């Protein structure tokens, strides 16, 4: 994933306000908590509307209807970046801020926007290598010293970057979290490489990011692919569910889509919004996905991972097999089908999250409990688990959640 410079910036468009409207400074326990006190998952679009005539309030509201609450447009022009903040405030969407001036004059630029109510944070760089970490931290520190209440944001490389082994990748991530101690960890990994194929190293990647996130007590964000390009297929509900629920099962506190708007004509296609500005089938799919995710967000937002394990005839490299049943669970079987079994804790409540790890096959989950367990449906409704049969059918990528 690379930061695209939009070639069609329309410099003559009228400016609507300075983008520096003041608000009371946002104070949270962590600047990565974009919606303090609310059970709302941050869901961000990578590459949304290009600056210019397409970046309008109407377009932002369309994005909001799709369930995106953080916009990231890759806007290099300072004046357009300010305009995006003002439009974001009108639409009720947070803006991940970037522009050339942020690098050239970080303190001055941050002071101009730090109190804007639509500001989500400051973008630094995509997929940095180890030799850039010192310079990145010097820049990030100037930003955070000026504004400690917002995040500096960047994405780490996936395991299929220039890393011979998973341990080499772990060293890269550990080097980053120690050398660049920004408040948020994010990485991109696109595991669906064919209609029926997943990358073998995806869950190993999630293991490393989740473990390092917990070790340094900083939240992480993760991706799902929403635009077909190269050999990557168009998104399906199964692929979206599998990616997003796997991310959440490992403790992700923010979710991202690559991309929202189609960035180029040659390589990318079937983005939620096409180059012609029309919705594709992917738009409806991410909207449905996001509504389902937010309905269950109270389980995941600010939760703590207790354990993540796997079931199946073969489990992914770098993961751990489930050897002991979770509390209150008396039986848990998947007929040797692949599944993630995650245990989360939040405010004294323990949740069991089970994800069908297949892109193509149903999984029959046989599970029994001691009395008092609740099943959490896709719309967020809580129902006593004993109202259902002991065997549930999970479609590809589907997730079952129980409050133990």
- pLDDT reported for residue 51: 87
25 is a domain residue: no
pLDDT at 3: 38
Domain that holds residue 395: 304-403
Domain termination residue (choose one: 278, 300, 322): 300
| pLDDT, tens digit, 9 for 90 and up, residues 282-329 | 999 999 999 999 999 999 999 999 999 999 999 999 999 999 999 999
Across the range 93-101, mean pLDDT stands at 98
Same domain, 291 and 308: no
Same domain assignment for residues 321 and 351: yes
316 domain residue, yes or no? yes
The CATH code of the domain that includes 193 is: 3.20.20.80
Q: Which of 271, 300, 329 is the last residue of a domain?
A: 300
Q: Is residue 7 part of a domain?
A: no
- Assess whether 288 and 349 both reside in one domain: no
pLDDT of residue 195: 79
pTM of the model: 0.93
> How confident is the model over 2-34, as pLDDT tens digits?
433 333 322 223 223 333 332 333 444 799 999
114 and 204, same domain (yes or no):
yes
Note whether 129 and 217 are same-domain residues. yes
Domain boundary among 281, 300, 319: 300
Whether residue 358 has pLDDT greater than 90: yes
- State pLDDT tens for residues 258-283: 999 999 878 999 999 999 999 999 99
Please give the mean pLDDT across all residues of the chain. Answer: 93
Indicate whether 308 and 296 sit together in one domain.
no
Indicate the length of the chain as a whole number.
Answer: 404
Q: Assess whether 332 and 294 both reside in one domain.
A: no
Residues 231 and 333 in one domain: no
Do 236 and 322 fall within a single domain? no
pLDDT, tens digit, 9 for 90 and up, residues 228-257: 999 899 999 999 999 999 999 999 999 999
Do residues 226 and 367 share a domain?
A: no
317 and 201 in a common domain: no
Is 348 within the bounds of a domain? yes
Least confident of 118-122, 176-180, 265-269: 265-269
Q: Report the CATH number that the domain containing residue 356 is assigned in CATH.
A: 2.60.40
Q: What is the domain count for the chain?
A: 2
Are 116 and 236 in a shared domain? Answer: yes
């Amino acid at each position: 994933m690379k930061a695209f410079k939009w070639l069609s910036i329309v410099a003559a468009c009228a400016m609507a306000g300075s983008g520096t409207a003041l608000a009371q400074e946002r104070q949270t326990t962590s600047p990565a908590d974009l919606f303090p006190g609310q059970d709302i998952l941050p869901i961000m679009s990578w590459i949304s509307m290009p600056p210019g005539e397409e970046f309008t309030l109407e377009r932002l509201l369309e994005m909001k209807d799709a369930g995106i609450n953080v916009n990231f447009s890759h806007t290099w022009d300072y004046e357009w970046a300010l305009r995006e903040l003002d439009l974001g405030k009108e639409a009720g969407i947070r803006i991940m801020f970037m522009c050339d001036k942020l690098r050239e004059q970080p303190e001055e630029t941050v002071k101009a926007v730090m109190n804007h109510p639509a500001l989500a944070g400051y973008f630094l760089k995509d997929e940095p290598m180890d030799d850039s970490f010192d310079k990145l931290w010097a820049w990030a520190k100037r930003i955070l010293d000026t504004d400690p209440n917002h995040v500096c944001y960047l994405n780490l490389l996936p395991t299929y970057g220039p890393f011979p082994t998973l341990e080499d990748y772990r060293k890269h991530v550990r080097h980053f979290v120690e050398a660049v101690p920004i408040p948020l960890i994010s990485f991109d990994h696109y595991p669906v490489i064919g209609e029926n194929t997943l990358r073998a190293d995806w869950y190993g990647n999630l293991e490393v990011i989740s473990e390092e996130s917990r070790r340094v007590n900083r939240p992480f964000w993760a991706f799902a692919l929403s635009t077909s390009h190269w050999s990557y297929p168009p998104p399906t509900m199964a692929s979206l569910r599998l990616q997003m629920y796997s991310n959440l099962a490992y403790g992700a506190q923010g979710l991202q889509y690559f991309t929202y708007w189609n960035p180029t004509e040659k390589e990318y296609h079937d983005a939620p919004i096409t180059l012609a500005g029309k919705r594709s089938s992917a738009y409806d799919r991410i909207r449905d996905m996001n509504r389902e995710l937010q309905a269950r967000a109270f389980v995941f937002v600010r939760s703590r991972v207790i354990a993540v394990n796997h079931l199946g005839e073969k489990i992914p490299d770098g993961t751990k097999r489930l050897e002991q049943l979770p509390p209150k669970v008396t039986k848990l079987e998947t007929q040797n089908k692949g599944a993630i079994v995650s245990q989360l804790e939040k405010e004294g409540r323990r949740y069991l999250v089970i994800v069908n790890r297949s892109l193509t096959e149903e999984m029959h989950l046989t599970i029994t409990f001691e009395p008092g367990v609740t099943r959490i449906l896709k719309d967020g409704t809580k129902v006593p688990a004993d109202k259902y049969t002991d065997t549930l059918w999970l479609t590809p990528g589907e997730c079952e959640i129980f409050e133990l």
